[in-house]
Amino acid sequence: MNCQHQLTTQAALSFELPLTFQRGLNLLLLLSMLLSSLLIFLLPADAEAIPVFARKYKLSCNACHAAFPRLNEFGQQFVDNNYRLPNWKDSTVNTGDDMLALPDSVPLAIRAQAYVQQREASSISVENGDGEQAKTDIQGPYLIKLLSSAPLSDHVSYYFYGIFAEKGDNGTVIIEDAWFSHDDLFGSEVGMMLGQFQVSDLMFPRETRLSFQDFMVYRMAGLTYDRGLVFNYDLGPVGLDLGAVNGNGISNNLTINSPGYKRPDHMFDNDTDKALFARLGAAPGGVDMGLFYYAGSQKNATGAAGTVSGTRDTDKNAWGVDLSGKLGDKTWWFAQAIWNDWQGFIEVNQDYRWFGAFVGVDYVYSDRWTYSLLYNFTDAGDLDNTDTVYEGINMNSLTATASYYFMRNIKAVLEVNADFQKKVEQSGLYYTGHLTGENYALVGLDAAF
């Protein structure tokens, strides 16, 4: 694939904001300033509730976060040490039993988000193009997240969170991250994680990004939540992660009934095959770099615009390179590129190769202000002109984010996304591809306590 040609072609595309969008953006900026001014006076001067780890160890959020949720060096070391400090037993119940280490309180925390957004994009039917649009959208609550984590023994920790009413879906609860970890299996210095997690966390955890905008190639490539195992080991200056996941996400739940009626067990996977992945990481010259590989399978795409999962198992492969580092004391940068190969995904005897990348920088200006830039580029490659929703992999956008911290654990977010991807008209039977722009402006609140 000629990535240089693709980037040159995309860079030549024009970018134009509609007049109505510009007016809406100006109004949203004004509202954000008014909201920020009001909240400065309304918020209490002291926070009574703090997140799980800060509460447990009596530390401020900035001990582990450069600016929540971005981790600093100490925070990353805390994660690498199996989510604990050496004095973790000081906050456990003294039961007189050396084989019991109960936290002295239930370790719970909450994260909540709410936004107002001005956008171009809409929701449409791929079959007839009909749809609905809300250029101004009040998204509150965007989600309410319940988190918990604690050490359970000298080597075992747990972590989980559940989301209530994610993205406005009231009446639903979904568990995303949920795992146990062991930092020294059988005294071998091999670490292990078992449960539900994001494969992409080996590179850049999406949950600690400062922007509302996502690391899009992870979502498009299906490298997010799955159920499985990860092993890690340090080979001198090189870190090795090896993992296996079911490869079918986190929603499958099949009743086992072949032995008879009302058997209690359920099957989380729908086939015997597992997806395998690995990452090699090192930090030469102060730059963290990694090489990633994923080999698995997925059901073929069929039905209207490829929106239905078929019955064929097709090979799914991904190769990636990630780089990250720090400039001075206040600036973090990061970059990811992933090449994907979906074999026989639509037509049986055809390979579909596509590419995705993102580059970002976070600048922690002060205790109150942070600024971020995130550039997402994805090219549908062989999935172009397939008359499927996968034509919509094409993306070329730059996102700018400013956050104002009222307290360590609550911030106002102002974000603007500029779309450079050329819009397309319907060209096949279905309405697919970049039919509208995705410029947006967003203001809101993000809190953890």
Whether 339 is in a domain gets the answer: no
Average pLDDT score over residue span 208-213: 98
Alpha helices in 285-346 (DSSP H): none
- Angstrom distance (rounded) from CA 254 to CA 300: 20
* Residue 200, helix vs strand vs coil: helix
pLDDT for res 21: 47
The whole model's pTM is what? 0.87
CB atoms within 10 A of CB 136: 11
- Chain-centre distance of CA 104, in angstroms? 32
Whether 420 is in a domain gets the answer: yes
CB atoms within 10 A of CB 255: 11
Whether 144 is in a domain gets the answer: yes
Whether 294 is in a domain gets the answer: no
Please state the domain count of the chain: 1
Whether 99 is in a domain gets the answer: no
Name the residue with tokens 């040159």.
Answer: 8
- Angstrom distance (rounded) from CA 147 to CA 160: 6
Which of 262, 264, 269 has the alpha carbon at shortest distance from 229? 269
| Partners of 360 in the β-ladder | 334, 374
> Which amino acid would we find at residue 191?
G
pLDDT in tens, 381-423: 999 999 999 999 999 999 999 999 999 999 999 999 999 999 9
- Sorted by sequence, the CB contacts under 8 Å of residue 38 that are 6+ apart come out as none
Name the residue with tokens 């970002």.
Answer: 360
pLDDT in tens, 139-198: 999 999 999 999 999 999 999 999 999 999 999 999 999 999 999 999 999 999 999 999
Whether 142 is in a domain gets the answer: yes
* Residue 116, helix vs strand vs coil: strand
Contact present, 405 and 411 (Cβ < 8 Å)? yes
CA atoms within 13 A on the CB side of 22: 4
pLDDT in tens, 26-79: 555 445 444 443 333 333 333 333 489 998 899 999 999 999 999 999 999 999
> Residue 362 belongs to what domain range?
3-92+109-198+207-212+247-267+299-313+345-448
Distances (CA, A) of 374 to 179, 189, 207, 296: 29, 36, 15, 29
Whether 428 is in a domain gets the answer: yes
Whether 114 is in a domain gets the answer: yes
